[in-house]
Amino acid sequence: MNHLRRIGIRAVNIVPILVIVSVLAFLLGALTPGDPVEAQFASRFTPEQLDEIRATYGLDRPLWEQYFVWVKNLFADGGGLSLTLGTPVFDILVPNFVNTLILTAAGVVVCLVFGTAIGFVAGIFHNTWIDRLVMLVVQIGSNLSVYWFGLVLISVFALQLEWLPVGGMESRGGGGFGDLLQHLVLPAVSAALISMLVLARFVRVGVIRERSSDWFRTFRSQGITPQTLYGRNVFRNILPSVVNITGLEIGTLITGVFFVEIVFNWPGIGTQLVNAVNGKDYPVIQGGIVLVALCYLVVNLVTDVVVDGLNPRMRGA
């Protein structure tokens, strides 16, 4: 019961955080110097028509009233209308957001698989040349820019070796699931780079700690092979930490995804937000901020639930 109560409290805590994010997102657009309506339409409409457009978007009302109208539009009117396209904001953002989720999910898989594997290898061969080589690679990789790393991947694997597509989400004329996977490989690896190396460090420390513990030495003295202990006991013991670190790194990964979308021309929400910023389309920018924040909060909640589920002490509480 206490376990369910903790989950309930964490879920409820999302609400005030989301309110704060919504206020900041609204103020970002409302207090930005210049008139967005005039910037968009001054060359095409008369002053009277500009006033009508402001009234349509509620920009002629007091600031506090504009906020509540905007919040109502978020839930009732598809996020309000885009200044540049005149269509509901979420009709623009949601398809791109789904594409971002696909890329983020692929990045999480890369982070989990390769981050755990790299950390395990370094931990098993602690204080050997393998450990030192792995940690050197991790140290160098941690200082690389996701943007620059993406360009290197394109140069090597797409342009020189021609193994994978340069960018985009699908080949010209469309493609199936295999085509999507080919387009996912380079951007997913690029987006996962920093988080993967952070995870590798934590996994390495966890493996070293477990192999130095009394229970590990006791089982080894009983003739149980290291392979069995690493595969069954050590991995199970560090799994909650792996999931927890991955969840904490989601924010870093999402930030990386936004840059990766630009490098690889991936049609995600990051690309859409860049276009909105360039076009001063504040309703799209505000809606995008709220959408990304909600996604991040939900992912963290799910991570907490999974970590608690993997921890026997938390399950029994």
CB pairs under 8 A, 24+ apart, for 94-101? Answer: 96/267, 96/268, 96/269, 96/271, 96/272, 97/268, 97/269, 97/291, 97/295, 99/169, 99/266, 99/267, 99/268, 99/269, 100/254, 100/257, 100/261, 100/266, 100/268, 100/269, 100/270, 101/295
Which residue in this structure is represented by tokens 């623009």? 92
Six-digit token pair at 245?
Answer: 């670190």
Beta bridge partners of 88: 81
Tell me the per-residue pLDDT of 183-210, one tens digit each, with 9 for 90 and over. 898 999 998 888 888 899 889 988 888 8
Residue scoring higher pLDDT (110 or 317): 110
Q: What's the CA gap between 8 and 108, in Å, rounded?
A: 26
**Rg from Cα positions in the chain:** 24
Tell me the per-residue pLDDT of 17-47, one tens digit each, with 9 for 90 and over. 888 888 888 887 776 666 666 656 666 667 6
Q: What is the pLDDT of residue 309?
A: 66
Quick one: DSSP state of residue 143?
Answer: T
Return the closest-CA partner of residue 233 out of 244, 222, 221, 219.
219
Within 8 A by CB and 6+ apart from 184, the residues are 102, 103, 106
Average pLDDT of the segment spanning 250-277: 83
Six-digit token pair at 183?
Answer: 């387009």
Quote the CATH superfamily of domain 92-310: MetI-like (1.10.3720.10)
CATH 1.10.3720.10 occupies which residues in the chain? 92-310
